């Protein structure tokens, strides 16, 4: 059995752990599918490249709003797809060959699972190998959850792992689930000409968002999509390319393609973690302490397999923490999961940070709300934007920022000053009144929301 100083399972964010400061060690990385993981190959990056293309198409389609005559002739899906994945596949391959060139790193292409404390079996195309390690990092991510009625039908379906690489957009796309992936990919396919039905078991899309965001977003997209809210799928029938979905009220949806987007599950069930004494939560996430240590000596975990916030910027931060802690056992640092911002790159874009208004109420907090609309600032007039807004929640007295929620163009960028202020302990009044806010930039919507707190 070959021994390494450090073995990392998963070459998504796990790959970021192995910096040059590890070059004096014997390090191995195990990857069963794709270097770069979900984000590069089937997640954040391709979905945003497609979303940007959708935005360009829409700009042409809606040019008349600005008294510009333009005609959108076509979105050439195959060309778009090939442009996106030619770039990303090259990045993936470069990441893989980069590791080959480092004589202190061994790459195992195969699926790892534990056989005992800090020992692994790796199943490769050319047979299995046993490996032991001084320290192990579990960074094996998650996968799309596929509900029973879809599996039982035995008919084709897509997930985020596959749909961005299809040859042609569907005429009618049915999306099961109304969360992040539905919001982003429904917009992409609608812009390529698909009609879209979204089936969501709750009464709103983007359920965990602040009530103002989820309410206004759901209302806005009603005219674009066929929304089946408060509904669950009971059966999938028909044939490939002509599916018939039956919902729990007996109604049906006809579609030529089904995208399943009802959440993701951690890959912990495929790693025989019990053999190594690594505990998991009821939802399958690996249990870690503040320093990303699992319940097994010398084994760390990071990213979607353990994180309470399964987002790439969080996985990256945890990778930095693990990299430090592997090398500095007497000076451990912690990953902070407070005030993690997130964004949905849909139309309109959405960004949020901290508590929702409902969470403020549930916690019995004394809070004030400040609201401002894109339609109330000069740049919003230029954009003819009547729906965008910024909502901030702060504590009266101290002015401590509790939460922020934006919907509208550039929301993921506009929220960053609010994230900075909340993280650095700058109160809402100081943020509103101390720095200059450029006129007439879109950031004035943030300034006005802060002033609207009336603190
Ligand atoms: C469609 C989509 C869009 C997204 N958009 C965003 C976004 O805009 N912003 C954002 O912050 N987050 C986004 N996310 C979430 C983000 O992709 C994840 O949070 C992030 O990729 C998690 O990184 P990770 O390293 O934990 O897991 P992964 O990137 O999934 O990496 C895990 C790796 O481990 C490998 N592996 C698994 N099991 C084994 C095994 N037993 N042996 C060997 N290898 C194994 C897998 O093949 C994989 O390469 C998106 C996700 C999806 C699906
Ligand atoms: N921009 C981003 O940061 C981004 C984009 C895409 C994905 N992601 C990550 O990927 C994860 C997975 O995305 P997702 O959209 O699959 O999950 P999600 O958790 O965002 O949304 C799933 C939705 O499906 C609904 N649902 C669950 N079971 C259902 C059923 N049987 N029938 C109908 N509806 C059902 C839920 O109520 C929920 O609204 C996200 O949680 C996020 O971590 C992030």
Nearest to 291 by CA among 277, 282, 301, 276: 301
Q: Which CATH superfamily is domain 148-262 in?
A: FAD/NAD(P)-binding domain (3.50.50.60)
Q: How far is residue 163's CA from residue 157's CA, in Å, rounded to a whole number? A: 9
- Residue matched to tokens 């100081």: 430
State yes or no: is 439 an active-site residue.
yes
The ligand 1 atom at the shortest distance from the C-alpha of residue 110 is 43
Region of 298 on the Ramachandran plot (φ > 0 left; ψ -120 to 50 alpha; else beta): left
Residues of the chain with CATH 3.50.50.60: 2-143+265-327, 148-262
Q: How far is residue 196's CA from residue 199's CA, in Å, rounded to a whole number? A: 10
Cα–Cα distances in angstroms (integers) from residue 48 to residues 7, 407, 418, in the given order: 31, 17, 23
- The secondary structure of 142-171 as a DSSP string is EEE---HHHHHHT---B-TTTGGG-SS--S
Partnered with residue 239 across adjacent β-strands are 242
Ligand 2 binding pocket includes 299 (Cβ within 6 Å)? no
pLDDT of residue 58: 97
Q: How far is residue 9's CA from residue 113's CA, in Å, rounded to a whole number? A: 9
- Can you list the residues of the chain whose pLDDT is less than 70? none
C-alpha 200 to ligand 2 mean position (Å): 10
Query: What is the model's pTM?
Result: 0.98
172-176 and 195-200 strand pairing: parallel
The domain 2-143+265-327 is classified under which CATH number: 3.40.440.10, 3.40.50.300, 3.90.1200.10, 3.50.50.60? 3.50.50.60
The ligand 2 atom at the shortest distance from the C-alpha of residue 231 is 33
Tokens of 308: 């309470």
pLDDT of residue 185: 98
Helix (H) or strand (E) holding 403: strand 401-407
Q: How far is residue 421's CA from residue 414's CA, in Å, rounded to a whole number? A: 13
- Residue matched to tokens 């429904």: 186
Tokens of 261: 């987007």
CB 133 within 8 A of CB 6: yes
Residues of the chain with CATH 3.30.390.30: 348-451
C-alpha 180 to ligand 2 mean position (Å): 5
Q: How far is residue 80's CA from residue 89's CA, in Å, rounded to a whole number? A: 14
pLDDT of residue 100: 93
pLDDT of residue 319: 98
- Residue matched to tokens 């998991």: 280
ipTM > 0.90 for the complex: yes
C-alpha 329 to ligand 2 mean position (Å): 37
Tokens of 165: 């690489």
Q: How far is residue 252's CA from residue 243's CA, in Å, rounded to a whole number? A: 10
Residues constituting the chain: 455
- CATH topology for the 348-451 domain: Enolase-like; domain 1 (3.30.390)
With vertex at residue 339, the alpha carbon angle to CA 337 and CA 342, rounded to the nearest 5 degrees, is: 95
Residue 60 DSSP SS3: helix
pLDDT of residue 88: 98
pLDDT digits (tens, 9 = 90+) for 183-211: 999 999 999 999 999 999 999 999 999 99
- Percentage of the residues of the chain whose pLDDT score is greater than 90: 100
Residue 279 DSSP SS3: coil
Ligand 2 binding pocket includes 181 (Cβ within 6 Å)? yes
pLDDT digits (tens, 9 = 90+) for 95-124: 999 999 999 999 999 999 999 999 999 999
At residue 260, what are phi and psi to the nearest 5 degrees? -95, 120
Ligand 1 binding pocket includes 47 (Cβ within 6 Å)? yes
């Amino acid at each position: 059995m070959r021994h390494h100083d450090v073995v990392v399972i998963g070459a998504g964010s796990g790959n970021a752990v192995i910096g040059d400061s590890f070059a004096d060690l014997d390090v191995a990385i195990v990857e069963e599918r794709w270097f770069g993981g979900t984000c590069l190959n089937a997640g954040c990056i391709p979905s945003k490249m497609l979303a940007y293309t959708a935005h360009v198409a829409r700009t042409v389609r809606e040019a008349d709003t600005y008294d510009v005559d333009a005609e959108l002739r076509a979105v050439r899906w195959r060309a778009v797809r090939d442009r996106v994945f030619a770039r990303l596949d090259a990045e993936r391959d470069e990441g893989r060959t980069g590791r080959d060139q480092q004589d202190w790193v061994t790459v195992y292409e195969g699926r790892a699972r534990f056989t005992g404390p800090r020992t692994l079996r790796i199943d490769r195309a050319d047979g299995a190998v046993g490996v032991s390690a001084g320290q192990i990092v579990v960074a094996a991510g998650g996968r799309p959850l596929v509900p029973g009625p879809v599996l039982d039908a035995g008919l084709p379906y897509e997930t985020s792992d596959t749909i961005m690489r299809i040859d042609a957009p569907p005429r009618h796309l049915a999306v099961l689930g109304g969360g992040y992936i539905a919001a982003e990919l429904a917009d992409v396919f609608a812009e390529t000409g698909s009609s879209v039905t979204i089936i969501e078991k709750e009464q709103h899309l983007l359920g965990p968002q602040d009530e103002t965001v989820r309410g206004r977003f759901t209302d806005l997209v009603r005219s674009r999509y066929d929304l089946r809210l408060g509904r669950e799928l009971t059966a999938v029938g028909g044939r490939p390319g002509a599916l018939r979905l039956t919902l729990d009220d007996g109604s049906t949806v006809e579609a030529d393609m089904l995208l399943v987007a009802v959440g993701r599950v951690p890959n912990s069930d495929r790693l025989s973690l019990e053999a190594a004494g690594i505990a998991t939560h009821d939802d399958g996430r690996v249990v870690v302490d503040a320093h990303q240590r699992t319940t097994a000596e010398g084994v760390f975990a990071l990213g979607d397999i353990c994180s309470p916030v399964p987002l790439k910027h969080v996985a990256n931060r945890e990778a930095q923490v693990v990299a430090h802690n592997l090398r500095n056992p007497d000076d451990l640092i912690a990953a902070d999961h407070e005030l993690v911002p997130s964004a949905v790159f849909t139309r309109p874009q959405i960004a949020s940070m901290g508590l929702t208004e409902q969470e403020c109420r549930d916690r019995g907090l004394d809070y004030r709300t400040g609201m401002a609309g894109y339609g109330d600032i000069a740049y919003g007039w230029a954009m003819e934007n009547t729906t965008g807004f910024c909502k901030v929640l702060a504590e009266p007295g101290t002015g401590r920022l509790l939460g922020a929620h934006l919907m509208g163009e550039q929301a993921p960028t506009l929220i960053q000053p609010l994230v900075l202020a909340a993280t650095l302990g700058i109160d809402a009044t100081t943020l509103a009144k101390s720095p200059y806010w450029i006129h007439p930039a879109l950031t004035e919507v943030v300034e006005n929301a802060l002033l609207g707190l009336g603190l």
